[in-house]
Amino acid sequence: MMARRVQPPSLLDRLPPVRGKLQADMELAPLAWFRTGGPADILFEPADAQDLMQFLAALPGDIPVTIIGAGSNLLIRDGGIHGAVVQLGAGFSAIEIMADGLIHAGAGVMDVKLASAARDAGLTGLEFLRGIPGAMGGAARMNAGAFGGEIKDIFVGAEGIDRRGRKLEFSAAEAGFGYRRSAFPADVILTRITVRGHPGDRAQISARMAEIAAERSASQPVGARTGGSTFANPLDPKAAGRKAWQLIDAAGCRGLRIGDAMVSEKHCNFLLNCGSARAADLERLGEHVRACVMQQFGIDLHWEIQRIGETAPDDAGGRP
Ligand SMILES: Cc1cc2nc3c(=O)[nH]c(=O)nc-3n(C[C@H](O)[C@H](O)[C@H](O)COP(=O)(O)OP(=O)(O)OC[C@H]3O[C@@H](n4cnc5c(N)ncnc54)[C@H](O)[C@@H]3O)c2cc1C
């Protein structure tokens, strides 16, 4: 358990009134799939987009804001996150299916739920979302993809709110999707995503989703404390088409450990928290894997997992 940061009494006093839930000095580890990370000074769950807009517009400019989704692609460091952390909850969970196949989803809607809603409406194209744990805001930010599909294939547009509380709209061109990345401005919190599905056969859509679920549990440590793929597959020609996991495996890193942080045996591009790993253990292990791959193949793996927050001052260090 991390030491709680002493809260400067002035911070809460400086926050604007809200309709949503504002909590001070909140542990973030329970909100991240890795179950690591220190506290947030403030955790804010806005009631709706209007509440978020008013909060951001009135929040003093020196207070940083961090958005987190379902925490499935996050390594929150042990020193926690300064300022306000925003997480979108029930106020951003609506799914609206239009007659022409357009689907509006709140950014807090879980990917799996959206895939199921599309299936129930007889719309195909969203089946791949069955394989991605996370919410639609994080999926759009990361251009999440799996099993032959990615967000950019179905994306029509998005709404978001910037740090100054202004509402913005983004077209597919403005989203600037690339491999596991997008070009939404860093300060924008996406609030609603619009995607397109196409008329399809419900039974076939169901069957494909079941196939994806089965393939996932056969190849990934499902239910583990992990952040999914740690590194993006390298685009470096030296990789000659080899995926990150193949390079990690060939570099001899499968099963490596630092304390309770471990390179998964089942899928060696996944890091696992096998018990009480700290974020620093996981990050150090990841950096060690990068160094091994660099040393053996001269290829620089890039973190796909987003590492956020502060390093804890008492980080003692350790080696595999
Ligand atoms: C077991 C497992 C399997 C996985 N498999 C896949 C896979 O096959 N394919 C794949 O692409 N990913 C995979 N991932 C990674 C992860 O699920 C995706 O990246 C997912 O889209 C992240 O969504 P999230 O809501 O959890 O976002 P988070 O992890 O909470 O955040 C990810 C990033 O998005 C930003 N963000 C979150 N919400 C918003 C918002 N509303 N507005 C703006 N920015 C926002 C955050 O600031 C952060 O930078 C896997 C993860 C796990 C744990």
Give average pLDDT by consecutive 10-residue segment, the chain, 320 residues: 58 92 96 97 97 98 97 97 97 97 98 98 98 96 95 98 98 97 98 98 97 90 91 93 96 97 96 97 98 97 97 73
* Gap from CA of 301 to ligand 1 centroid (Å): 19
Tokens found for residue 287: 């950096």
Which of 73, 127, 270, when mutated, tests ligand 1's pocket best, judged by the most ligand atoms within 8 Å of its CB?
A: 73
**Under 8 Å between Cβ of 39 and 23:** no
Tell whether 71 and 134 lie within a shared domain: no
Q: Are residues 158 and 228 in the same domain?
A: no
- Residue that terminates a domain, selected from 29, 59, 90: 90
Specify whether 191 is located in the same domain as 119: yes
- Contact status, residue 184 vs residue 170, Cβ threshold 8 Å: yes
| Pair (214, 236) in one structural domain | no
Q: Does 292 lie in the same domain as 257?
A: yes
- The CA–CA distances, whole Å, from 276 to 24, 34, 249, 255 equal 24, 10, 25, 17
For residues 143 and 205, membership in a common domain is answered with yes
Contact criterion met (CB below 8 Å) for 318 and 281: yes
> Are 172 and 102 in a shared domain?
yes
Q: How many domains does the chain have?
A: 3
Hey, whose CA ends up nearest to atom 19 of ligand 1? 73
Question: What is the structure's pLDDT at 320?
Answer: 72
In a domain, 248, yes or no: yes
Judge if 104 and 177 occupy the same domain: yes
Do 97 and 211 lie in a common domain?
yes
Pocket test for ligand 1, best of 132, 159, 216, 282 (most atoms within 8 A of CB): 132
Taking CA atoms only, the protein residue closest to ligand 1 atom 2 is: 228
List the residue whose alpha carbon is closest to atom 49 of ligand 1: 306
CATH number of the domain that 298 lies in?
3.90.78.10
Is 320 within a domain?
Answer: no
- Residue 311, burial from CB neighbour count under 10 angstroms (0-12, 13-18, 19+): middle
SS3 198: strand
Q: Measured from the CA of 147, which atom of ligand 1 is nearest? A: 8
Q: Which atom of ligand 1 is nearest to the CA of 66?
A: 47
CA–centroid distance, residue 108 to ligand 1 (Å): 12
- Boundaries of domain holding 273: 222-308
Residue nearest to atom 33 of ligand 1 (CA): 138
**Are 187 and 259 in a shared domain?**
no
Which of 194, 218, 242 marks a domain boundary?
Answer: 218
Q: Is residue 278 in a domain?
A: yes
The alpha carbon of 10 and the centre of ligand 1 are apart by a number of angstroms equal to: 33
Indicate whether 284 belongs to any domain.
yes
The CATH number assigned to the domain holding 108 equals 3.30.465.10
Q: Does residue 183 share a domain with residue 239?
A: no
Does the residue 315 lie in any domain? no
In a domain, 275, yes or no: yes
**C-beta of residue 44 within 8 angstroms of C-beta of residue 24:** no
Report the SS3 class of residue 30: helix
pLDDT value of residue 11: 83
Ligand 1 atom at shortest distance from the alpha carbon of 220: 1
Predicted TM-score (pTM) of this structure: 0.94
Q: Which of 16, 23, 12 is nearest to 57 (CA)?
A: 16
Assess if residue 115 is contained within a domain. Answer: yes
Q: Which residues are paired to 177 by β-bridges?
A: none
Q: What is the largest CA-CA distance in the chain?
A: 58
In a domain, 316, yes or no: no
> Are both 214 and 226 inside the same structural domain?
no
Question: Between the CA of residue 235 and those of 144, 238, 288, 298, what are the distances in Å?
Answer: 17, 8, 20, 13
Q: Which residue has the tokens 């925490």?
A: 71
Domain boundary among 68, 90, 112: 90
Of all atoms in ligand 1, which is nearest to the CA of residue 67? 47
